[in-house]
Amino acid sequence: MITVSIIGGTGYTGSELLRILSNHPDVEIKYITSRKMDGVKITKLHPNLKGIKNLDNMTFKNILPEDIDSDFVFCATPHGASMKIVPELYEKGMKIIDLSGDYRFEDIATYEEWYNLEHTGKLDAVYGLPELHREDIKKAKLVANPGCFPTGSILALAPLVKEDLIEDRIIVDSKTGVSGAGVNPSETTHFPNVNENISPYKITTHRHSPEIEKELEKLTNKNIKLSFTPHLAPITRGILTTAHTFLKEDVSREQIIDVYERFYKNEPFVRIFDEGAPTLTGVRGSNFCDIGGFEVDRHGRLVVVSAIDNLVKGASGQAVHNMNLMAGFDETESLLYGGLKP
């Protein structure tokens, strides 16, 4: 049995962490922090969790990081906030899973350029994508949970890059649900602006672009030239990613599928579709990444499609997966369930 605390438990990722961890047989939830909601019952803000374990009796605590004493800490805080919290937890010897972007980059200059924030200093962190870094995650003290777009994009492309089947120019298009923008409403996420509408944003400047590039480049000795464009879709949750790549030579669809099936042979949360393309209804509420499509046009363009739930595989579910690995638990514990369909 381990104790865990969640710093920042009022947002969507915090809520999903509570939902998943409350059903984990080897976890005791110790603290859920919030400055604004101090003393408020957890289930008042998250009524979907009412009646589950002891959450009815728990309240948010306005507690300082130095006063937290648990085995694991999840930082579900905004970019820029985690780096002010994590170092103290790190020095105290606790194991940390940070869901912000603050520790995803080995090169601080890249972070500062794309996030437009001054970093407080580098720590020894492992990028928390289990399909690529499982053994390092097991030994890690600090895991930087991947971004939602990078999760779906990297998993869709990694086998092709690893096997050197495609050119170094890649185009990625992702459609995301409104929950990816966070719990606080804005003009962009206002219902009349989202409903019956699809809006591209940060068309060539999204900060997840270098994160995708750097991870793919670790699989090859070449520089990846990635063009990434996200779109806000009128759905609550999920990310559907379409990756356009260009084959170096003629490869059959069957051979491509075989490459993916071999690459992800022992991965519990990656499902390969040899027919058709995945959909968001297949992964909603689950920790799966579904990958399919694998269509090649007459110009040698290979299209691969992936689908994830942005709040689970793209955030909280992957964070719990990382915790399971770090704690030596069965890595699928409390995560092996199908998507909500319809």
Q: Residue range 305-329: average pLDDT?
A: 98
- Banded model confidence at residue 342, pLDDT cuts 50, 70, 90: confident
For the residues of 115-131, what is the DSSP string, one character each? Answer: H----------EE--HH
Strands of 169-176's sheet in order across:
199-200, 225-232, 169-176, 239-246, 301-308, 289-296, 270-272
Q: What is the 3-state secondary structure (H, E, C) of 224-269?
A: CEEEEEEEECCCCCCEEEEEEEEECCCCCHHHHHHHHHHHCCCCCC
- Banded model confidence at residue 285, pLDDT cuts 50, 70, 90: very high
Q: Residue range 96-123: average pLDDT?
A: 96
What pLDDT does 54 receive?
87
Q: How far is CA 149 from CA 40, 61, 167, 314, in A?
A: 33, 31, 21, 7
What pLDDT does 290 receive?
98
pTM over 0.85: yes
**Rounded Cα gap, residues 206 and 214, in angstroms:** 14
Residues with active-site annotation:
148
pLDDT tens digit sequence for 171-204: 999 999 999 999 888 988 899 999 999 999 999 9
**Rounded Cα gap, residues 80 and 94, in angstroms:** 20
What pLDDT does 188 receive?
87
**Rounded Cα gap, residues 341 and 122, in angstroms:** 42
- Banded model confidence at residue 53, pLDDT cuts 50, 70, 90: confident
Q: Residue range 268-288: average pLDDT?
A: 97
H helix runs in 58-129, sequence order: 82-91, 108-115
Is residue 274 within 8 Å of 305, Cβ to Cβ? Answer: no
Proportion of the chain above pLDDT 90, given as a percent: 94
Statement: residue 261 has pLDDT above 90: yes
Q: Residue range 95-108: average pLDDT?
A: 97
**Rounded Cα gap, residues 326 and 322, in angstroms:** 6
Please state, rounded to an integer, the average pLDDT across all residues of the chain. Answer: 96
Is residue 291 within 8 Å of 270, Cβ to Cβ? Answer: yes
Q: Residue range 226-244: average pLDDT?
A: 97
pLDDT tens digit sequence for 28-39: 999 999 999 999
Q: Alpha-carbon torsion 48, 52, 56, 59, what sign? A: negative
Statement: residue 335 has pLDDT above 90: yes
Q: Residue range 16-45: average pLDDT?
A: 96
pLDDT tens digit sequence for 202-220: 999 999 999 999 999 999 9
Would you tell me which CATH number, out of the four given (3.30.390.30, 3.60.21.10, 3.40.50.720, 1.10.4030.10), belongs to the domain 2-123? 3.40.50.720
Q: How far is CA 22 from CA 2, 53, 115, in A?
A: 13, 6, 33
Q: Alpha-carbon torsion 328, 132, 91, 19, what sign? A: negative
Give Cβ neighbours of residue 78 (< 8 Å, ≥ 6 apart).
8, 100
Closest to 72 measured CA to CA, from 122, 144, 12, 142? 142
Q: Residue range 128-151: average pLDDT?
A: 98
Q: Residue range 8-14: average pLDDT?
A: 95
Statement: residue 341 has pLDDT above 90: no
- Amino acid found at 118: E
Statement: residue 221 has pLDDT above 90: no
CATH fourth-level superfamily of 149-310:
Dihydrodipicolinate Reductase; domain 2 (3.30.360.10)
- Domain boundary assignment for the chain: 2-123, 149-310
**Rounded Cα gap, residues 79 and 182, in angstroms:** 12
